Amino acid sequence: MRRSGKINFLAQGDKYRIYILFVVIFGFMSIFAPKFFSVFNFTTILNAIAMNATVAIGFTVVMICGQLDLSIGTVITFAGCLTLGLQPLLGFPGSIAVAVLGGALVGFLNGILVAKAKINSFIVTLGTMTILQGAIYQYSGGNSISVTTDEAFAISDFLQVSLLPLLTPRILITLILVVAVEFMLRRTRAGRNFYIVGGNRNTAWLAGINTDRYLIGAFVLSSVMAAIGGVVSVLVSTAATLKLGEISLMYVISATIIGGTAMSGGKGGVLRSVIAILSLEMLYTGIILFGLGNEVKIFFAGLILAYVVLYEAYATYRHEKNLGQRPELMKELATRLSTKEKKLLGSRGA
């Protein structure tokens, strides 16, 4: 008998879990949360996730490589500050370019330290996070940066005009990036190589895949996406606040995990992470629409994350326990038990 993926329920369950979660939250909120089900509300939700969704793209790839990037939060803010801080000198095209390149540079540094110097990514990115935090304050002199020229307003307005219902340029940018990277991961050799590198670096190396290049690439992608997220976000709000990316880190980590990207690497996908963020955001919005406070938000976010982690851990636990069980023995067992029961009945009868 051919053993097929189908018999592995757990894997299947994992595959669709995030979409199920999405449907459940969407359904529940649409039915019960006041004013939830409206094009307008969905648009605000999509606007709200635009930044974190963009950030999650790169972060997911890093996690697929079995690494962690704690610096994304500060990269967002840093890129934001550069975009508006340098605008007077370079104009928007220039400042945006510098911001994104700056992001790429940070990612490159992270990548080098992880891949070449072989320092644990948790540590490396914790370090760069601290450095960037200082750099941001130093650069901004402690005050947030804004550009309130008509040009800036024009750009901001443009990014928010709705091309179609639910679709503003800002959302479109995120959408394009998500689709592009997801496609790259699924349909190109390079994309699959990220998974192999994350799954087992040795395998990748033996297959002649330049693991270091992919690790560095992942970190660069992560920082660049974070930077883009920051740039777009400040272009919309015409102001770079020093706390811009503060919340993003924990948010994106949780979402990525909930989305089903394993921290051990080799598993997951960008789309799932984004769906997870969307689900969380709908949950949050719903909770607010119910007139409940942020503590409820935090509490539920924690519960969902905890549930997912626990579920996955328990699943693997069970899976390993029963690995190699012989179906024919289980059948035999069933028959034997039934015979035993018959015996029992018989003896009672006598």
Partner 1 sequence: MKKLAFIALAIALAAFVAVPLIGQTAAQKANLAASLKIDTSKLLSADNQLLLAPSTDNRKVPKRPADPNKLPETDPLHWYDMEWAGWNVKPTNIPKSPMTGAIGKKVIFIVHGDHPWTTACILGAQKVADAYQMEFKALSPNWDKVVQDQMIDQAIAEKPDMILLIPLDAKGAVQQARKINQAKIPLHLFNMLPDAAALNYSLGWTGPDDFGQFRLLARAWADELRKRNPGAKSIGVAYVQHAPGGSPFFARSFGPISELAGYAKEIKTLVAASPTPATFDANTTMQLVSDWITKYGDDLKGICASDDSAQALGIFEALEKAGRNDIVVVAAGNSKQGMDLVKDGKLFGITYQTAEGDGALSVQYAADWFNGKKLAVRQNLAQHIITAEDVEGFYPPQW
Partner 2 sequence: MNEESMGLALEMKGVRKSFPGTIAVDDVDFEVRPGEVHALVGENGAGKSTLMKMIAGSFDDYEGQIIVKGREVRLHTPTIAKKFGIGMIYQELSLARPISITENLLAGRLPRKGPFLDKRLAKRQARSLLEGVGLDLDPDLPIEDISQHEAQLVEIAKVLGNDPIILVMDEPTSALSREEVERLFAIIDQLRKRGIAIVYISHHLPEIFKIADRVTVMRDGKKIATKPIGEVTREEIVQMMVGRSVKEFYKRQERTIGEARLRVKGLSRFGFFHDVDFEARRGEILGICGLSGAGRTELARVLVGLDRADAGSIEVDGSPVRGSTMAEHLEQGIAYLTEDRKIEGLALRLAVDDNILSAIIDRLSSASVFSKSKGMQRVRALIGELSIYPPDPSRTVGNLSGGNQQKVLLAKWLASEPKVLILDEPTRGVDIGAKMTIHSSIEKLARQGCTVLLISSDLPELVGLTDRVMIMRKGHFTREMDYGECSEESLLLAANGDVGTGEGRAS
Partner 3 sequence: MSDNRGPAPDGATDGAATAQADTRSVKTGSLSSLVNTAGVYGIALLFLVLGAVLQFTGAIGNFLSPQNLLNIVDAVALVGIVAVGMSFVTYSGNYADMSVPTTMGLTGYICIELLRYGFIPAIIGAIGVSLLIGVLNGFVVGKFKANPIIWTLAVNYVTMGIIRLVWVNKQIYPDMKGSSPDVVALFDAIYRLRFFKLIGLPLVILILLVVIGQFVLTKTSFGVKLKLTGSAPKAAKLSGIPIETVIMTSFVLAAFTAAIAGLAVTSLSRVGAWYNGAGYDFKAVTAIVIGGMTLAGGRGTILGVLGGSLIIGILNNIMTLIGIGTFSQDMVRGAIFILVVGINAKSLRSLGRDDA
Regarding 247 and contact with partner 3 (CB under 8 A), the answer is: no
Nearer to partner 2, 203 or 294 (CB): 203
Which listed residue (299, 337, 338, 343) binds partner 3 by CB under 8 A?
299
Regarding 207 and contact with partner 3 (CB under 8 A), the answer is: no
Regarding 38 and contact with partner 2 (CB under 8 A), the answer is: no
**CA-CA distance, 247 to 17, in Å (whole number)?**
25
Which structure tokens are listed for 328?
């024919």
Phi, psi (5° rounding) for residue 143? -120, 140
Which structure tokens are listed for 196?
């192999």
**CA-CA distance, 313 to 286, in Å (whole number)?**
29
Regarding 311 and contact with partner 2 (CB under 8 A), the answer is: no
Which of 59, 6, 83 lies closest to 274, judged by CA? 59
Q: Which one of 90-98, 146-154, 172-180, 186-194 is the stretch in contact with partner 1 (CB under 8 A)?
A: 146-154
Decide if 275 contacts 259 (C-beta within 8 A). yes
Q: Which one of 19-27, 145-153, 268-276, 305-313 is the stretch in contact with partner 3 (CB under 8 A)?
A: 305-313
**Coil vs helix vs strand at 267:** coil
Instruction: Kindly write out the interface string for residues 242-281 of this chain, putting x where it contacts partner 1 by CB under 8 A and - elsewhere.
Output: xxx-xx----------------------------------
Regarding 133 and contact with partner 1 (CB under 8 A), the answer is: yes
Which structure tokens are listed for 84?
């508006």
Regarding 131 and contact with partner 1 (CB under 8 A), the answer is: no
What is the DSSP annotation of 201-263?
HHHHHHTT--HHHHHHHHHHHHHHHHHHHHHHHHHHHSEE-TTTTTTHHHHHHHHHHHHT--T
Which listed residue (95, 121, 156, 223) binds partner 1 by CB under 8 A?
156
Phi, psi (5° rounding) for residue 240? -105, 105
What is the DSSP annotation of 180-191?
HHHHHHHHSHHH
Instruction: State the residues that interact with partner 3 by CB under 8 A.
Output: 66-68, 113-114, 117-124, 126-135, 137-138, 142, 200-203, 205, 250, 253-254, 257, 262-265, 293-303, 305-306, 309-310, 312-314, 316-317
Instruction: State the residues that interact with partner 1 by CB under 8 A.
Output: 35, 40-41, 43-45, 47-48, 51-52, 130, 133-134, 137, 140, 142-146, 148, 153, 156, 233, 236-244, 246-247, 284-285, 288-289, 293-295, 297
